[in-house]
Amino acid sequence: MTAGHCMCSGSGKLLENRIRVTIGEHDLKIKNSKEIDKKVIKIHFHPKYQCGKFIDDIALLELENDIYWTKSIGPACLPKNYDNDNDLTNRSATLAGWGWLNEKYSEGRRPDILQKVQVNVFDNDKCRDWYSSQGKNVKILNTQLCAGHESGGKDACWADSGGPLMISESDNSVTVVGVVSTGIGCGRPKLPGIYTRITEYIPWILNVINN
């Protein structure tokens, strides 16, 4: 699962033979036997997604063959119990990625080691109010969710797109509730990141998987 815009180049969609998935990656500088490379045989874009846009910003990658779980490779589950916005509001979530560590390229860098950060999920109405208070006219749809910190400082950044926003469950499983989609800058106060809300796409996801 990834963001639709990650599978685009400008206004055009990427070809499957241009993409490779590495599973179990942690340190980009070190190649070891724990990592598994897979070819992508089909990109499943959401039928309403358009390259260059951030609405219905989700895609599924169909791999050449199955993935087998190991001590270092395991699944992040699809949501089952979050049926509305209030179920996620104020929950703490984990964001992971290899994106830039600073909004300003000159002051930041891209890490070699996978990064993670804790953020809070906010009610969409609060998020809309915050964006408006900062003079930003941004539509936040019900198919999206916001996560970050009111004071900023912890957020997704450039090249984190498509990464997972995850919640730890009481049974120690991990659920993906969002995919990094868009936002303004990185870690700015009252401008939390905007994610594709996975619960809105469960029927489509299951239909792709079952077919």
In the structure encoding, which two tokens stand for residue 150, read together? Answer: 């009111």
Give the pLDDT score at 107: 83
Catalytic: which of 56, 160, 161, 181? 161
Do residues 196 and 139 make contact, with C-beta atoms less than 8 angstroms apart?
no
Domain at 4-73+201-210, CATH from 3.40.50.300, 2.40.10.10, 3.90.400.10, 3.40.50.2300 = 2.40.10.10
- Average pLDDT (117-134) is 97
Catalytic: which of 57, 155, 160, 181? 57
In the structure encoding, which two tokens stand for residue 96, read together? Answer: 């992971």
Give the pLDDT score at 132: 98
Is 168 marked active-site? Answer: no
Kindly report the CATH class assigned to 91-199.
mainly beta
Domain ranges of the chain: 4-73+201-210, 91-199
Label the pairing between strands 193-197 and 144-148. Answer: antiparallel
- Average pLDDT (17-30) is 94
Catalytic: which of 5, 46, 155, 181? 5
Is 5 marked active-site? Answer: yes
Mean confidence (pLDDT) of the chain: 94
DSSP conformational letter for 7: G
Give the pLDDT score at 81: 64
Is 160 marked active-site? Answer: no
The yes-or-no verdict on residue 72 having pLDDT over 90 is no
Give the pLDDT score at 84: 57
Candidates 186, 179, 177; CA nearest to 59 is 179
| 148-158 tens-digit pLDDT | 999 999 999 99
